Homo-oligomer: A and B are copies of this chain.
């Protein structure tokens, strides 16, 4: 089958690969119709993720058509997180914490390909008539919705009353902003250093968009700050910007070095929430919300053939791509 393969640092090769193979009973083959490029795919491409070793087919934000098994013929979104199903976390609805979790496009082949193998229980049916390109947004949107869900638990007052800051206008940051808008937040600021991304965020109309290099978000102002970058500078800004008793939610994984003023967290009683991916229920709810239009028209997607995926990686790395999400179509 044709696939876009991560072959070496900063090298994506579109080439013929052995066909996808199911790894056991209960797995199905899915023909990929649309698959997004994630920030974590970019990390891998740049050689920053020791868990993703080339040669590897990346890609885990996928929608497609089931080729065999019980759901044969159905159009589905893929839950790329494969968990054991038996541990306390899996049974308690927190499957994302399963210590045996696996992910397609990491230790097993991903969805930048004609076909992918995946357990059938990881398939979620797409509502009748929904565009697979929109359906492929389910995974990044669910990451944002899950983060907002966790944030809400730590806020003292209803989330609709909060002033909120989102740092980072990639797809997860933008979906966080769209989710906060959907939950009634009126006073919303989104910060990104990339002018193309700022322009995309601006068009959604849900947030005041700033360049944090020119214009610092005011200190001690926001009840909720979502850091969808996760670097030292963004964490520093996040911890400074939150009000006493507020919440900083940390989704990004750019680096692991500093930026957390623990004295401020303690004396100002701030809750710092680490958040990772989504649960199966988050994915189902997100798919419904995307279909219902709860997160806006989603007209900021950049759609390209899978064969041109290598160029998309180059553009994203160079900051020349304004779209918060590039979707590839095999």
Find out whether the CB atom of A154 lies under 8 angstroms from the CB atom of B154: yes
Given the complex, which residues of B lie within 8 Å of A273, measured CB to CB?
271-272
A68 at the interface (CB under 8 A from B): no
A247-284 CB contacts (< 8 Å) to partner B? 250-253, 256, 258-276
Contact of A272 among B97, B251, B265, B267 (CB under 8 A): B265
A261-309 CB contacts (< 8 Å) to partner B? 261-276
A91-107 CB contacts (< 8 Å) to partner B? 92, 94, 96-97, 99
Q: Which B residue's beta carbon lies closest to that of A245?
A: B97
A247 to chain B, nearest CB (A): 10
A107 to chain B, nearest CB (A): 15
A105-140 CB contacts (< 8 Å) to partner B? none
A229-249 CB contacts (< 8 Å) to partner B? 230, 235, 244-245
A23 at the interface (CB under 8 A from B): no
A contact residues, total (Cβ < 8 Å)? 39
A84 at the interface (CB under 8 A from B): no
Q: Could you tell me the distance between the alpha carbons of A268 and B276 in the complex, rounded to whole angstroms? A: 7
On A, residues with C-beta under 8 Å from B are: 89, 92, 94, 96-97, 99, 150, 153-154, 156-157, 230, 235, 244-245, 250-253, 256, 258-276
29 contacts between A and B (CB under 8 A): A89-B245, A92-B156, A92-B157, A94-B245, A96-B269, A97-B244, A97-B245, A99-B244, A150-B271, A153-B153, A230-B266, A250-B265, A253-B266, A253-B267, A256-B263, A258-B258, A259-B262, A260-B262, A262-B274, A265-B274, A266-B274, A266-B275, A266-B276, A268-B276, A271-B273, A271-B274, A272-B272, A272-B273, A272-B274
